Structure 1
């Protein structure tokens, strides 16, 4: 009986060691190293994305403490991230590390064991750098009006610098259209040659303890030059959707990300010539059920921008000025479909809250991103249908009506005799000494104003909608455009997270008390295993679930992480886990991407022996 009680007392001291002698020691951990997917990877000291860390277990340890620092002296103000109470000799860092390099290293990690007698000595520091692997370079072939470049491992997005236009913007994808060069400029002097640069950027997630920057950058590329042919005169013709695959009239292919849309020509089905266009995407071949409306552009290519559309001019003077300069970012005014319905681009559908702006812009230029991605088209026979609609900038005529009710000082609504032809964004002059007002919304003959009235107005006073304003109108019905055979299809399917190859990307303490990586399709670990996966594109966060059964799947627990690894809090038994990405820029309210296949692993009970 005494031997049984003695064995129970030793259990806490042996939980991290498998088979052990129960002789606590102050020996510092050895073998500290960083890895991305498996603990048995060759030792490396440069990483493009945040690695995990592992070390040799210490006999008699009941926990471990881990610290990351920008100094190998680990002074308090240099600590970037730390963790205590670790029950496995491996740790997943729940914060993103910026790209930064030093001589020889910019970041250092160390670990120490905690025994029943307290914390032991810190082990030798492990130094490493976080660094981009390459500068983006152009992808070929070229498409008129479209920029493309290779992806950079570890990058969260890219900064595109349009050298001639004199401004830059951020994007999550490796493509951008040249709308600035074409919008209100169809002359080759504006569109023929485009100079541009691009650099990778890395957004920082999680909380750092010493306030390292929230975004880091790779170097700017050299100045690249794209040469575009003159704008094609002729019927508007769809060419292709482009990502790392191309979907055209010969084949409808699956895109992993929201693709670029390309076309040629400038003539509508009515034979009229135009200089502005809008891409629209539908779930039906008759083009009646839109799920995405692009911004108005003048280019023969379109890539959705999460930072928003160009600041389209709202009056004829603005249009004239736009022909002499590059438009900046701003608001696209409400426009009209061919049948007169209000149309708003998805680039104005701003995400309510992403926990951060994720743009890399300085504080004075921070914008919230827009929902410019589409959900997977994996329903039965699922695909999307798209077309391009010509858009006209139509100048307003002056409209005169009168007040039917008095309007008090401070009122935000007026009622007029006839509001026909008046729309949101219009400029009004009210009364004999005209008070200027801007229309916010229309309901029958009730007009809601953007700002309150600064004076009172009487029944019968004139209300004049000023002439010279500009409205943007679709020049075709979408169903007519598609019926004319101007329609192509494409699929969208997010790739599931890769969680392993012949064995899972899983590491942990073996039942024999060693730090190991999975060597079989059903690995066994003692304690909490660390699992990892390859990053997926257009992903802001990952969801990890675990279940006792593969089917039917009943999640016992789940965790969200912006990292590509996670320590699973599993009790002894047989488990399955799966991973999927979350895309917060997806249209609608469901950001979930495709689940990985369930992965099986076994968590064993502790084994120990009593040494006399």
Structure 2
């Protein structure tokens, strides 16, 4: 049997390999077992199994012994073609994944979506991909009717819905709302007979926002399926003085101290059709105030003819400005509401005005206290993230801020409104006047004039008629050019014009008289637990588990929460202490999904979640925080051993520093640092330096096995020369494949203290059996440097760890 020197074998092999100068995803399957038990879930990994979900699920699988991280893929193809890839993640430290995106509602036979996972072992190789987990995304069942009030539709909220589209069958129109109520203004406004209001037929479906992030850009439908046709009936109009009723949303409130607060923006209901002086009305407006004197107004409804009002984000009815008669025989279209006026002449604009849209919150500002947290690898990351809402239009800001109910709350009232023809009104031309052909004139005052008014301009010798198209404080603009010159002081008299929508009472007067209601608004917090945390991950004993079965986790856990009514996206924060809660010590992130893998290090941590309501004004869209949840990260009670060996379980007496897998070493005294030039690394102190030959340095194990000398060599190879690490890995792999290897060449890009390196491994035949030729190749700028192991395959468990230690202690300069 021929004795072979490790140095000579390494030199011979590297004669070819040195001609090339490694790299991420170029990996090949290792002998390790593939992950099993891959499945989806919503709140905890040990939920009953299911393969259909209404919203994007989280995923979990059984851990693989020897695995240091995982790679996860999600696809619309069971073969995971590149153009079908929806999501992929690498460097997952725990056997859980939380895709931060909106998945389309999609079903197939047997399934339309597929997930798979593989492990990355401690020697840098990967396991085979797991069996794929097939699943479907199906919309929730349509909402069902809830008891309402006259003039109001109401339905059961759907978990996870961002809004609802209501189809008013007979009016032949649809309305989008972000609450669970819709007034019937379309049927009542200028129609007060039972023929119009007696029966309302409607259908409804849930909506969700498309918060993007899918790799292949597969489109999603923003709506679920339509409900069957529902019918709601209304009594005849109630006559008599106006009396306030309840506020209605997911709850019904009479405003008393024990009444519940609303989680969604409510509807407002009332009876009667008479003002305080007995004037009969057929139009109404709701005002909301922060004070019981009804001075500080914070919400102004659209004008409606129904005995109920609920906000609509996409605009009011386009009420007539000419004759009302034509509107009494048709359903009025949505559009712009004409300018209204309070009882004392103040102009009023509805809060449904779509020109006052909010800007959705798509990223988080830095903490007021400074930095958002650490970004060190393996520790909690303070990256705040962002969501992509594309060109989504969320409409007017028609929601209200939270109150400390019942101590704090809002006050509301209803005011009757009349459509009145404007009377005569006088103003005068202001200096310097205007010439013939002018389309506007300066005026001494413009109060009371409105677009659509007809006016007489000038004195007896130059009188002409004009129609106003625009009004500002100092001028009137006309529909056509004037025919005469008009000087300062000439009269401008309104002779007719557009209808004015005038309040018939003053809000502060009717509030003082007792027509005053009260309600509270407290947005729904997400739930992070139900008895036990909605948390899943790796237990300290190395098993996939949830918080139902463990008080702590090893490695980052995946936390989930329930969707909050009215929330479009969620902010998740984590902190080292519960009070004062300090995300600067941990981190925070904005998410479109309802789960996230918290990047936590060992110790006790605290986290909380809140939604963002895009119906609130810009900068004030935050909802209520969840209760603060506590979660513990501990050291493992198991050891990740070298590839190909089994897992051993032994309780740890006390926390110890866990070294990267595949680089477990003996005490430092058992190793010695060897230096050649500006390069150095550690090998076992018992190893002997040999003549380097064509290498820069060679050390051999003095214990020969079957006459074979095992060892490590440091060699110079051709540099990377600007290639990406991925490409460099491919080139090095191709060169190594030219050897007469036994099986495939394995390679991957790895991170070492000295920098990014390429790990490669293959077996070559010899008289003594297969020989492991593994190496770490570092980029040294003008040269590459390869740490090469040559050792019998039968001793892999020993020499792979020694090579890993040499790589982790390698220094360039």
TM-score normalised to the size of structure 2?
A: 0.66
Which residue of the partner structure matches residue 522 of structure 2? 493
SS of the residue aligned with 2:50?
coil
Q: Find the aligned partners of 1:54 and 1:455 in 2 and give their Cα distance.
A: 80
Which residue of the partner structure matches residue 313 of structure 2? 306
Which residue of the partner structure matches residue 324 of structure 1? 329
User: For the structure 1 residues 102 and 486, does the alpha-carbon distance in structure 2 shift closer, same or farther, using more than 3 Å as the test?
Assistant: same
SS of the residue aligned with 1:480?
helix
Does the CA-based 8 Å contact 1:307-1:367 persist in structure 2? no
Q: Find the aligned partners of 2:478 and 2:138 in 1 and give their Cα distance.
A: 49
Q: CA deviation at 1:538?
A: 0.6
Q: CA deviation at 1:100?
A: 2.1
Q: Find the aligned partners of 2:61 and 2:282 in 1 and give their Cα distance.
A: 63
Q: Find the aligned partners of 1:89 and 1:412 in 2 and give their Cα distance.
A: 73
Comparing 23-32 with 43-52, which one deviates more in the overlay? 23-32
Which residue of the partner structure matches residue 571 of structure 1? 601
2:509 to 480, 486, 491: 480
Does the CA-based 8 Å contact 2:30-2:128 persist in structure 1? no
1:503 aligns with 2:532: yes
Q: Any residues of structure 2 matched to 1:320-469 within 5 Å, and which?
A: 320-348=325-353, 350-354=356-360, 368-378=394-404, 381-397=407-423, 399=425, 401-404=427-430, 405-406=432-433, 414-423=441-450, 437-440=468-471, 442-443=472-473, 446-447=474-475, 459-460=487-488, 465=494, 467-469=496-498
1:253 to 260, 268, 287: 260
2:571 to 532, 543, 546: 543
Q: Find the aligned partners of 2:129 and 2:437 in 1 and give their Cα distance.
A: 69
Does the CA-based 8 Å contact 2:562-2:594 persist in structure 1? yes
- Spell out, residue by residue over 1:559-593, the C-alpha distance to the aligned partner (whole angstroms, 9 max, x if none): 11121111112222221111111112124631111
Does the CA-based 8 Å contact 1:24-1:59 persist in structure 2? no
Which residue of the partner structure matches residue 162 of structure 1? 168
Q: Find the aligned partners of 1:526 and 1:464 in 2 and give their Cα distance.
A: 82
User: For the structure 1 residues 210 and 509, does the alpha-carbon distance in structure 2 shift closer, same or farther, using more than 3 Å as the test?
Assistant: same
SS of the residue aligned with 2:607?
strand
Which residue of the partner structure matches residue 711 of structure 2? none
1:528 aligns with 2:567: no
Does the CA-based 8 Å contact 1:525-1:603 persist in structure 2? yes
Does the CA-based 8 Å contact 2:466-2:478 persist in structure 1? no
Which residue of the partner structure matches residue 8 of structure 1? none
Comparing 74-83 with 421-430, which one deviates more in the overlay? 421-430
Which residue of the partner structure matches residue 43 of structure 1? 49
Higher relative contact order (CA 8 A, sep 6+): 2
Which residue of the partner structure matches residue 136 of structure 1? 143
User: For the structure 1 residues 555 and 418, does the alpha-carbon distance in structure 2 shift closer, same or farther, using more than 3 Å as the test?
Assistant: closer
Does the CA-based 8 Å contact 2:161-2:208 persist in structure 1? yes
Which residue of the partner structure matches residue 235 of structure 1? 241
Q: CA deviation at 1:508?
A: 1.6
SS of the residue aligned with 2:316?
coil
Does the CA-based 8 Å contact 2:464-2:483 persist in structure 1? no
User: For the structure 1 residues 499 and 436, does the alpha-carbon distance in structure 2 shift closer, same or farther, using more than 3 Å as the test?
Assistant: same
Which residue of the partner structure matches residue 187 of structure 1? 193
Does the CA-based 8 Å contact 1:48-1:133 persist in structure 2? yes
1:94 aligns with 2:100: yes
Q: CA deviation at 1:454?
A: 10
Which residue of the partner structure matches residue 183 of structure 2? 177
TM-score normalised to the size of structure 1?
A: 0.87
Q: Find the aligned partners of 1:83 and 1:198 in 2 and give their Cα distance.
A: 37
1:124 to 112, 126, 131: 131
User: For the structure 1 residues 379 and 427, does the alpha-carbon distance in structure 2 shift closer, same or farther, using more than 3 Å as the test?
Assistant: farther
1:292 to 283, 291, 299: 299
Which residue of the partner structure matches residue 580 of structure 1? 610
User: For the structure 1 residues 28 and 338, does the alpha-carbon distance in structure 2 shift closer, same or farther, using more than 3 Å as the test?
Assistant: same
Q: Find the aligned partners of 1:355 and 1:580 in 2 and give their Cα distance.
A: 13
- Spell out, residue by residue over 1:441-495, the C-alpha distance to the aligned partner (whole angstroms, 9 max, x if none): x32xx03759998999753577565623011111111111112221121111123
Does the CA-based 8 Å contact 2:243-2:515 persist in structure 1? yes
- Spell out, residue by residue over 1:318-357, the C-alpha distance to the aligned partner (whole angstroms, 9 max, x if none): x22211111111111221111111111111163242379x
- Spell out, residue by residue over 1:5-47, the C-alpha distance to the aligned partner (whole angstroms, 9 max, x if none): xxxxxxxxxxxxxxxxxx9644322111001011111211111
User: For the structure 1 residues 467 and 253, does the alpha-carbon distance in structure 2 shift closer, same or farther, using more than 3 Å as the test?
Assistant: same
User: For the structure 1 residues 257 and 183, does the alpha-carbon distance in structure 2 shift closer, same or farther, using more than 3 Å as the test?
Assistant: same
Does the CA-based 8 Å contact 1:385-1:490 persist in structure 2? yes
Which residue of the partner structure matches residue 544 of structure 2? 515
Comparing 426-435 with 189-198, which one deviates more in the overlay? 426-435
User: For the structure 1 residues 451 and 369, does the alpha-carbon distance in structure 2 shift closer, same or farther, using more than 3 Å as the test?
Assistant: farther
Does the CA-based 8 Å contact 1:430-1:437 persist in structure 2? no
User: For the structure 1 residues 413 and 253, does the alpha-carbon distance in structure 2 shift closer, same or farther, using more than 3 Å as the test?
Assistant: farther
Q: CA deviation at 1:427?
A: 6.6
- What is the Cα-based RMSD across aligned positions, in Å? 3.0
2:591 to 554, 557, 561: 561
Q: Find the aligned partners of 1:583 and 1:33 in 2 and give their Cα distance.
A: 31
- Spell out, residue by residue over 1:338-378, the C-alpha distance to the aligned partner (whole angstroms, 9 max, x if none): 1111111111163242379xxxxxx9xx8541111111111
1:196 to 196, 202, 216: 202
User: For the structure 1 residues 435 and 577, does the alpha-carbon distance in structure 2 shift closer, same or farther, using more than 3 Å as the test?
Assistant: same
Q: Find the aligned partners of 2:120 and 2:159 in 1 and give their Cα distance.
A: 36
Q: Find the aligned partners of 1:576 and 1:425 in 2 and give their Cα distance.
A: 61
Q: Find the aligned partners of 1:412 and 1:508 in 2 and give their Cα distance.
A: 73
Q: CA deviation at 1:151?
A: 2.4
Does the CA-based 8 Å contact 2:451-2:468 persist in structure 1? no
Does the CA-based 8 Å contact 1:399-1:467 persist in structure 2? no
User: For the structure 1 residues 411 and 103, does the alpha-carbon distance in structure 2 shift closer, same or farther, using more than 3 Å as the test?
Assistant: farther
Q: CA deviation at 1:269?
A: 0.6
Extract unaligned runs of 5+ from structure 2: 1-28, 363-390, 641-663, 665-796, 799-813
Q: CA deviation at 1:268?
A: 0.5
Extract unaligned runs of 5+ from structure 1: 1-22, 357-362
Q: Find the aligned partners of 1:408 and 1:505 in 2 and give their Cα distance.
A: 76
Q: Find the aligned partners of 2:437 and 2:593 in 1 and give their Cα distance.
A: 52
Q: Find the aligned partners of 2:301 and 2:281 in 1 and give their Cα distance.
A: 17
SS of the residue aligned with 2:529?
coil
